[in-house]
Homo-oligomer: A and B are copies of this chain.
């Protein structure tokens, strides 16, 4: 772990990241010693900084910090936390904030390879995402809704929980974004009211647009989910998980474009045994 460019494990307890969740984070997949989708993560971090009025750090410096945590050829997860640092008077940010940067390396999660190949089981969470356009899309440190939602199940066979917004529209998983396939077309909920704009979600949208099959952002209802041919979840670590069942309904994974599953694979950690060798 590195804190503000130095090896360390302790943070000033006065940090606004602790007091108010006044900061942002990024979770990056690292394979062969290189962070994946680096530009996309940096772009999202910069957007988040702009939203919160935190000065965005130099991406070159961030890359150096990340590399200092990564051994050559390593497969790991890097979490960057950027806070507004200490100071200010109560909620009021300091006039000249000195932000805090924490870089932590984690062992990749060891999910079963079948979750990539055959799909995952997903529950419907009771905890809802509040509608807050001012923070929607931003990967900030106020994550109690996700903590409460993830507390709703303990069955290790369940991979993810789907969260709805305050008005009951399905929006995303606790740690992944949601896509639907219907008649060969791709759909994903917009994230202007709530939710986190995942870098893998953005990547899927770019890949699909390049293929001439653009993803449509549109409000999703439970009716849409029921009529979907297939569902899948994305994030920067897993890449893409087909949904095998959601809230008791089964889904085929065959509707998910094969080209997309293959295109996403090298952009994320995926299973330890590559899906390619098992397909």
Q: Is A53 an interface residue (CB 8 A)?
A: yes
Count A-side interface residues using an 8 Å CB cutoff. 54
A8 touches which one: B3, B8, B13 (CB < 8 A)? B13
Is the beta-carbon distance between A130 and B131 smaller than 8 angstroms? yes
Asked, given contacts A12-B10, A131-B130, whether A143 binds B19 with beta carbons under 8 Å apart, the answer is yes
Q: Which residues of B sit under 8 angstroms from A229, Cβ to Cβ?
A: none
Q: Is A40 an interface residue (CB 8 A)?
A: no
Asked, given contacts A20-B143, A22-B144, whether A151 binds B93 with beta carbons under 8 Å apart, the answer is yes
A150 touches which one: B17, B92, B141, B150 (CB < 8 A)? B92
Q: Is A174 an interface residue (CB 8 A)?
A: yes
Q: Is A259 an interface residue (CB 8 A)?
A: no
Copies in the complex: 2
Min CB–CB distance A273 → chain B (angstroms) = 21
Q: Is A142 an interface residue (CB 8 A)?
A: yes
Min CB–CB distance A100 → chain B (angstroms) = 9
Q: Give per-residue flags for A121-150: 1 if the beta carbon is below 8 A from chain B beta carbons, else 0.
A: 000000110111011000011111111111
Q: Is A275 an interface residue (CB 8 A)?
A: no
Min CB–CB distance A46 → chain B (angstroms) = 18
CA distance A143 to B174 in the complex (A): 20
Q: Which residues of B sit under 8 angstroms from A90, Cβ to Cβ?
A: 109, 150, 175
CA distance A134 to B127 in the complex (A): 7
Asked, given contacts A91-B146, A175-B90, whether A141 binds B102 with beta carbons under 8 Å apart, the answer is no
Binding site for B on A (CB under 8 A): 1, 3, 8-22, 25, 52-53, 81, 83-84, 89-93, 102, 104, 109, 127-128, 130-132, 134-135, 140-151, 166, 174-175, 194
Can you name 22 A-B residue pairings with CB atoms under 8 Å?
Answer: A1-B13, A1-B14, A9-B14, A13-B102, A17-B18, A18-B18, A18-B81, A18-B83, A18-B141, A19-B143, A22-B144, A22-B147, A91-B147, A91-B150, A91-B175, A93-B147, A131-B131, A131-B166, A132-B145, A135-B145, A142-B142, A142-B143
